Chain A
Amino acid sequence: MRTALALALSLALFGCGKPADPGKGGAQVGLVFDVGGRGDKSFNDAAYRGLEKAQKDLAIKFEYIEPAQGSSDREAYLRRLAEQGTPLVFGIGFMFTESINAVAKDFAGQKFACIDYDVRPDTKIPPNVSAIRFKEEEGSFLVGVVAGLATKTKKVGFVGGMDIPLIHKFLAGYQAGVKAANPECEVIANFAGVTPDAFKDPVKGKQLANSQYGAGADIIFHASGSTGNGVFEAAKELNKQAGTVQHFVIGVDSDQWEEGGHVLTSMIKSVDVAVFEVIRDHKDGRFAAGIHTFGLKENGVGYVRDERNKALVTDAIVARVDEYRQEIVQGKRTVPEK
């Protein structure tokens, strides 16, 4: 009897999903987060900033849902938002590709947008879907150049989340950047896992970072969602122990400076700008379906260099990075994707 009660209670908790902001229905924009969810300080939080900006600047009401464990419920959540009549629904992350296609077909009168939409040769994008893609390899190339020039040990690391082509784009760009700036520098690369949960495993992130720092790397670029929180934690502890800052992290997607004084720079992926612009265009009746790609040229990716980290990323480094940026923007240099 009591077990039945416990089971029923737990099912009820599972079933009800996460509370949503603000108020059910009536929202003009709905959004389902990727694995890692709000508070990952990276990919998902960038999307959330886009929502917040839309709320402020465009007076848009939004509603969001965080996926449950394993995020296999993402299609159900998209469908729920669509069924409520939400005019514009976002799926954040490549894993939404199939689900967005399916739901968009069933709700042809509403609009959908997918960040990191996975374009395959055989995919036909529904006419009401905006597929947003970034050239992560270009932004990663720039932070690779920064790492290659800033390293003192001639060894740098890379911690990826799930082992998939998308994350290999980050790695390939980073490796190319490091090698371009510093041909002798070695890149140690590890992935946290082969399932979506690899994007939310800071314990594994810390383990990988400790292993790479231990092997002599002094800078680690992570592209791993909240798994990266473990990378920051590892750097923080090692620096505290050494009494000086010798171990650096390069953040991803958002400016992750807040994580502590050991953040060299961050590879920015303007998910916030993309989310905001899709909402704005939709509001103005200019919603554009199809593939939209944001690279260095479109300012969709980049790296952070401001007052706060200028002591770490020197003017000399910036000058070199700018040279490469010019080459890429002008099409003189192509950055590998894998």
Chain B
Amino acid sequence: MSALFTLETAAGTLNAAAPLILAALAGVVCERSGVVNIALEGIMLCAAFTGVAVTHALSPAGAAHASAWAPWAGVAAAAAAAVAVALLHGVVSIHVRANQIISGVAINILAVGLTQFLCYLVFKSSSNSAVVASLPRWGAGAFRYSPLVWFAFAAIPLVHLLLYRTVFGLRLRAVGEHPTAADTLGIRPVRVRYAAVALSGALAGLGGAALASDVSQFVQNMTAGRGYIALAAMIFGKWTPCGAAAACFLFAFADNAQIALQEKIPPQFAQSIPYLLTILVLAGFVGKARAPEALGKPYAKTD
């Protein structure tokens, strides 16, 4: 058992948790405003690709000779692309008032195909990008991470403060619970929801960028379900930033612990541990999770 609680497991857990945390926070922000965001997976994937492609484009002399700011520009581009995709989801779910689940699923499917296609155009392979210049690594010892990982940890209290200690946060939550009531008090639900969706996109985009910057390249469908795991973490955490982040840490720990367990128990079982754990915890220990009242319901002003 002691092999489970090593420094490497701890370091690996934090690293694996970061993209999940950013995506889960993105989910919290979006859904607390009343917009379902299944599209996290696709948004992360688009961001991961954009970040790598832009970094690549800005280092024409090759990754080894890239300027120090190229990967940072990649991060900015990743966030921008993610906001754009999120706003597409926003237009469909807020403005057009279409089914938000379908919009999210469509974006996820689109993202897989589109990133693969663009990857072929840029890197002449639909499977792998080139290895690009990476962000610096900050920290000490085994705990040296890309700045995005540290940002993920900082974002937990920041999003908490935003939701519970600011006027914007209050309005965001009000719109997610009872948009009509909020409207009568002079809050514009549509505007607040657009802002929430955009912020959610930026957070998920940084999550995608964190994932790509970990290995300095893009790989076909590299998110591999992390967007969905983040959604599970969000529900598990009862739509609160701290709860969702805690769930991400738990999941990341299970994911790293299975490495130590691989040689001792059948690998098929070891690798299902993170998922089993999620189901068990969701089913047994969370208690009743209450979604925002107006979640998934498009707001239409009635006279």
Contacts and interface: CB of A to CB of B under 8 A. Distances in A.
Interface of A: 1-3, 6-7, 9-11, 13-14, 18-19, 33, 36-41, 44, 66, 68-69, 163, 188-191, 193-194, 197, 200-203, 205-208, 210-211, 214-215, 226, 229-230, 233, 237, 241
A195 to B, nearest CB: 9
7 contacts: A6-B92, A13-B113, A39-B128, A203-B215, A210-B11, A229-B128, A229-B219
A36 B216 CA distance: 16
Given A66-B126, A233-B215, A189 B263 contact: yes
Contacts of B103: 2-3, 6
B151 to A, nearest CB: 18
Given A19-B120, A38-B124, A6 B11 contact: no
A3 B108 CA distance: 12
Given A3-B102, A210-B8, A233 B109 contact: no
B219 A3 contact: no
Contact of A7 (B16, B109, B125): B109
A241 B220 contact: no
A210 B137 contact: no
A3 B142 contact: no
A6 B98 CA distance: 12
B127 A214 contact: no
Contacts of A10: 106, 109-110, 112-114
B106 A7 contact: yes
B219 A191 contact: no
B114 A214 contact: no
B222 A194 contact: no
A296 to B, nearest CB: 29
A68 B116 contact: yes
Given A194-B268, A207-B15, A233-B216, A39 B130 contact: yes
Interface stretch (B153-161, B185-193, B254-262): B254-262
A18 B98 contact: no
A168 to B, nearest CB: 11
B217 interface: yes
Nearest to A191: B267
B144 A200 contact: no
B117 interface: yes
A4 B99 CA distance: 11
Contact of A37 (B16, B125, B259): B125
Given A3-B103, A200-B127, A214 B216 contact: no
Given A13-B113, A39-B128, A237-B137, A2 B215 contact: no
A78 B7 CA distance: 47
A218 B271 CA distance: 25
A215 B215 CA distance: 21
Most chain-B Cβ atoms within 10 A of its Cβ — which of A7, A206, A211, A214?
A211
Given A66-B125, A194-B271, A203 B142 contact: no
B219 A210 contact: no
B30 to A, nearest CB: 17
Nearest to A188: B263
Contacts of B129: 39
Nearest to A234: B215
B168 interface: no
A226 B6 contact: no
B262 A191 contact: yes
Given A202-B215, A207-B16, A207-B256, A193 B271 contact: yes
B112 A203 contact: no
CB-based closest 8 A-B pairs: A37-B127, A214-B8, A13-B113, A39-B128, A39-B125, A10-B110, A38-B125, A6-B106
A193 B225 CA distance: 14
A185 B111 CA distance: 46
B98 A3 contact: yes
B242 interface: no
Contacts of A37: 125-128, 220
B211 A203 contact: yes
Given A19-B120, A39-B128, A229 B217 contact: yes
Contacts of A69: 112, 116, 220-221
Nearest to B226: A203
Given A14-B109, A190-B263, A211-B259, 10 more contacts: A3-B99, A6-B110, A10-B113, A68-B116, A202-B219, A214-B142, A229-B217, A233-B131, A233-B215, A241-B137
